[in-house]
């Protein structure tokens, strides 16, 4: 709000209460929370104590959610005590550099980013933060010029260094934007390579399209269960949906764990020779849904099991004693051994048993939930017919049309 | 015969007619063939002109097949005019170095090799030549000592250099035996890594077994069609047999072509994502049979098709125009494209069509035969039930029990 760059319906209000560095952290916390509480009560709001990197107090006042955050009044990043203090420096920098006209350009950029789903530095989106949008406007002056540069000039490790610190060579991210108030920080560090490239294509699509307005509206999804089932039927893949309850924790705690779980299932599937066309995941209503689309879900009962070299007499004799049907292939023994898992169903149900789980990397909370409340594994048709709510239908549609948000 | 190392029922007789180096090649050929023909007629035989690296004449006399081969009387390998001349040097060397007792050891070694199917430098076996057996006895003195060394000391690039030429470092074959009459030749060059290792295991098996006599008899195969079908049924693999007519040409011409065809089908199968458990081939009655045992024979209708990087604007736009459903995966476009071949049957039948064949490396004669007389592709069960003769049953048994010849 101080920067005049907050989107309608998008902003919670943050109220920073700045303390002189002479206060110690105990005092800052005590006075900060007391003062915040007093303000909220004076305005007839309700207060609630919360904790992030350090504690703050939230007030619900006239329908707004306002965070009262105690922090230090620092002059530059060398005095930094916690990440929250940096916000003051960012606000100062933007206030002293961004013109009112540019603030409007920031609003356009943020709204566009929001509609093409690249806005937000949280783990779920892994996109562009508000501050990053502001710096992009400072660099490129206008919304359209940001898009023009993204569309035509951006490539992996694109560098922006407004204060010419010369430190951008220290980073290897897709986009490197040196923080004007901290030369050792990349403001775009949380931006994934996926969202970086999605924004580039969204920019190209926008610049080529005559109907620009559409890009400032959400792309509504309009599909049916029949339509989705038809796509999978045509592909002739074997698609499964694994659903797991997740505890009520911040999304930035849960999302990385679900992502880790998906990647681990992918790795284990390939280890057991079940090759995947594609995977994805999404969360809603305290449940995580992992989509696993296999190329086939049945393998033969046997596989080639490589043994030692023939020249290694002791090991090759041990191998032959253990596997009497072992035979020579070139310079080593091999055996045609029973396969551990012959179907995808069998494999997933086995590796998710508490005694076998250690083969997977699940994340602490996901692991606990599976042990305590189990999971559900369905074929995608069965899932669509029996379990899918509107959100699931939309998410499965987006899985099948991954570019949908950046196209109009 | 001159070396006293020929196995009963194994030897055709070679009669070398040596000419002084003062004769030119035209004269050698003319007088050689005339003189050979005269000998054969004098002994009331029938003669037949043949061609190898150079022409010779074959006589059928008293039930024996005797080749009369004209060659030069050379003193050492520097005078060599063709491979045939070297035989004289080999015979001289063995006659002057191998004792009568050692000749008996050679016979044991050759008979053993023959029974475990590692004897013969022809392409079909790719095993040990007779001369190589003789040199092994010169190196290790006795049959049992050859086996002891093979069983315990042989490894990849084992070196034997009877005349201590010091040239063995120039070779990278599994077994390097420098020719005593030609320091730049490895007598074991035609020995495959497979047969080298099979002999090592055969030697270990022989030395550990109390009933040594069994190793001087062929290992008879005793199986039934039911037994074979049961093995494939248990494996749950998808095994196909491709049979192709082959022209009546020397085996050393045809075998490499069939091997090439098999390897090419393997490569193309894997290119189209059909993964193989194992493959093999065999020939009989002017037909080649290629065994292709797949892990699965059906794939989905689609596959991931990788496109250009997003940063490459022109190519990524072309890709997107060509494939409107292309989507971003990390930093590149991918598309879910129709798969060219969805079944093994479809794939093989397509790539064997004359217009598509260029994707395969078939060998000249195999290619011609497929174009002229076609081929037959069957599932292994169907093949066993409808087409298999005794030889096929034995060959399929050996495919399923690849160590059978070296075990007793």
| Rounded Cα distance, A275 and A292, in Å | 10
Report whether B372 contacts B212 (CB < 8 A): no
Domain A225-298+342-400 has CATH 3.40.720.10: no
Q: Where in chain A is the domain with CATH 3.30.70.590?
A: 225-298+342-400
What's the number of CA atoms in the CB half-sphere (13 Å) around residue B93? 20
Best interface-test mutation with B: which of A310, A315, A339, A346 has the largest number of B CBs within 10 A? Answer: A310
Q: B313–A237: do the CB atoms touch at under 8 Å?
A: no
Kindly calculate the radius of gyration of chain B based on its CA atoms and give it in whole angstroms: 27
Q: Where in chain A is the domain with CATH 3.30.460.10?
A: 1-97
Which residues of chain B are within 8 Å of residue A235 when distances are taken between CB atoms?
300-302, 336
Instruction: Measure CA B68 to chain center.
Output: 27
In the predicted model, is pLDDT for residue B9 greater than 90?
Answer: no
| Rounded Cα distance, B222 and B309, in Å | 59
Closest Cα to residue A268, out of A351, A367, A189? A351
pLDDT band, residue B77 (cuts 50/70/90): confident
Q: B328–A194: do the CB atoms touch at under 8 Å?
A: yes
Q: B301–A342: do the CB atoms touch at under 8 Å?
A: no
Distances (CA, A) of A42 to A52, A61, A71, B203: 25, 10, 21, 97
Query: According to the model, what pLDDT value does residue B299 have?
Result: 97
Grouping H, G, I as helix, E, B as strand and the rest as coil, residue B339 is coil
Sheet bearing A238-245, strands edge to edge: A276-284, A287-294, A238-245, A376-379
In the predicted model, is pLDDT for residue B404 greater than 80?
Answer: yes
Average pLDDT value for chain B: 94
| Rounded Cα distance, B72 and B84, in Å | 9
| Tokens 């093949």 found at | B383
| Rounded Cα distance, B177 and B282, in Å | 29
Average pLDDT value for chain A: 94
Torsion, Cα B184 B185 B186 B190, to 10 degrees, reads 140
Architecture of the structural domain at A1-97: 2-Layer Sandwich (3.30)
Closest Cα to residue A108, out of A218, A3, A191, A5? A5
The two three-digit tokens of residue A259, written as one number = 């992502």
Closest Cα to residue A235, out of A266, A276, A289? A276
Where is pLDDT greater, at B180 or B79? Answer: B180
Where is pLDDT greater, at A338 or B53? Answer: A338
Q: Where in chain A is the domain with CATH 1.10.1410.30?
A: 98-218
The two three-digit tokens of residue B263, written as one number = 């390897």
Q: What global pTM score does this model have?
A: 0.88
In the predicted model, is pLDDT for residue B218 greater than 90?
Answer: yes
DSSP A6: P
Report whether A131 contacts A119 (CB < 8 A): no
Please indicate if any CB of chain B lies within 8 Å of the CB of A298.
Answer: yes
Strand pairing of A64-72 and A55-61? antiparallel
Query: According to the model, what pLDDT value does residue B10 have?
Result: 63
In the predicted model, is pLDDT for residue B227 greater than 70?
Answer: yes
In angstroms, the separation between the Cα of residue B234 and the nearest Cα of chain A is 7
| Tokens 């090649």 found at | B25
| CB within 8 Å of chain A, chain B residues 148-177 | 151-152, 154-156, 174
Residue in A197, A238, A330 nearest the CB of B331: A197
| Rounded Cα distance, B129 and B138, in Å | 14
- Give the mean pLDDT of B118-143: 96
Nearest Cα residue in chain B from A311:
B155
How many CB atoms sit inside 10 A of residue A36's CB?
24
Report whether A178 contacts A189 (CB < 8 A): no
pLDDT band, residue B100 (cuts 50/70/90): very high
Give every residue of chain A whose pLDDT is below 70, as ranges: 10-11
Domain A98-218 has CATH 1.10.1410.30: yes
Closest Cα to residue A331, out of B173, B209, B258? B173
Instruction: Measure CA B188 to chain center.
Output: 14
DSSP B330: T
Residue A229, marked binder: no
In angstroms, the separation between the Cα of residue B314 and the nearest Cα of chain A is 10
DSSP code string of B196-229: HHHHHHHHHHHHH-S-GGGGGS-------HHHHH
DSSP code string of A57-76: EEEEETTEEEEEEEEE--SS
Grouping H, G, I as helix, E, B as strand and the rest as coil, residue B64 is strand
What is the phi/psi pair of residue B233, to 5°? -65, -40
| Rounded Cα distance, B288 and B140, in Å | 39
Grouping H, G, I as helix, E, B as strand and the rest as coil, residue A276 is strand
Report whether A181 contacts A90 (CB < 8 A): yes
Query: According to the model, what pLDDT value does residue A11 have?
Result: 63
Q: How would you class A139 by CB atoms within 10 Å of its CB: exposed for 0-12, middle for 13-18, buried for 19 or more?
A: middle
Q: What is the pLDDT of residues B353-401, one digit of tens each?
A: 999 999 999 989 999 999 999 999 999 999 999 999 999 999 999 999 9
């Amino acid at each position: 709000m101080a920067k005049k760059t907050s989107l309608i319906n998008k902003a919670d209000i943050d109220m920073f209460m700045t303390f002189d560095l002479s206060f110690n952290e105990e005092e800052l916390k005590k006075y900060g929370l007391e003062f915040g509480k007093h303000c909220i009560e004076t305005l007839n709001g309700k207060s609630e104590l919360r904790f992030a990197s350090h504690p703050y107090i939230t007030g619900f006042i006239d329908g707004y959610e306002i965070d009262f955050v105690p922090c230090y009044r620092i002059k530059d990043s060398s005095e930094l005590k916690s990440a929250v203090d940096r916000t003051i420096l960012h606000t100062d920098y933007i206030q002293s550099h961004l013109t009112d006209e540019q603030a409007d350009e920031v609003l356009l950029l943020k709204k566009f980013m929001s509609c093409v789903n690249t806005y937000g530095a949280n783990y779920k989106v892994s996109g562009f933060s508000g501050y990053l949008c502001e710096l992009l406007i400072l660099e490129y002056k206008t919304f359209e010029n940001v898009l023009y540069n993204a569309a035509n000039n951006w490539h992996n490790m694109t560098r922006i260094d407004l204060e010419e610190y010369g430190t951008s060579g220290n980073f290897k991210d897709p986009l490197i934007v040196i923080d004007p108030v901290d030369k050792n920080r990349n403001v775009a560090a949380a931006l994934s390579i996926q969202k970086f490239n999605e924004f580039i294509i969204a920019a190209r699509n926008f610049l080529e399209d005559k109907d620009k307005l559409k890009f400032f509206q959400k792309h509504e999804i309009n599909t049916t269960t029949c339509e989705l089932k038809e796509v999978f039927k045509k592909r002739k893949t074997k698609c499964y949906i694994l659903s797991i309850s997740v505890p009520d924790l911040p999304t930035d705690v849960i999302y990385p764990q679900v992502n880790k779980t998906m990647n681990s299932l992918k790795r284990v599937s390939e280890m057991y020779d079940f090759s995947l066309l594609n995977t994805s995941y999404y969360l809603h209503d305290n449940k995580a849904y992992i989509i696993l689309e296999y190329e086939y879900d049945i393998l033969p009962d046997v596989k080639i099991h490589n043994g030692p070299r023939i020249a290694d007499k002791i090991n090759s004799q041990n191998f032959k004693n253990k596997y009497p049907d072992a035979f020579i292939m070139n310079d080593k023994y091999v055996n045609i051994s029973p396969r551990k898992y012959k179907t995808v169903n069998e494999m997933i149900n086995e590796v998710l048993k508490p005694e076998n789980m250690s083969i997977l990397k699940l994340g602490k909370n996901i692991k606990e939930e599976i042990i305590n409340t189990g999971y559900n594994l369905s074929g995608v048709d069965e899932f669509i017919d029996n379990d899918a709510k509107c959100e699931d239908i939309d998410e499965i549609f987006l899985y099948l049309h991954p570019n949908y948000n950046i196209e109009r």
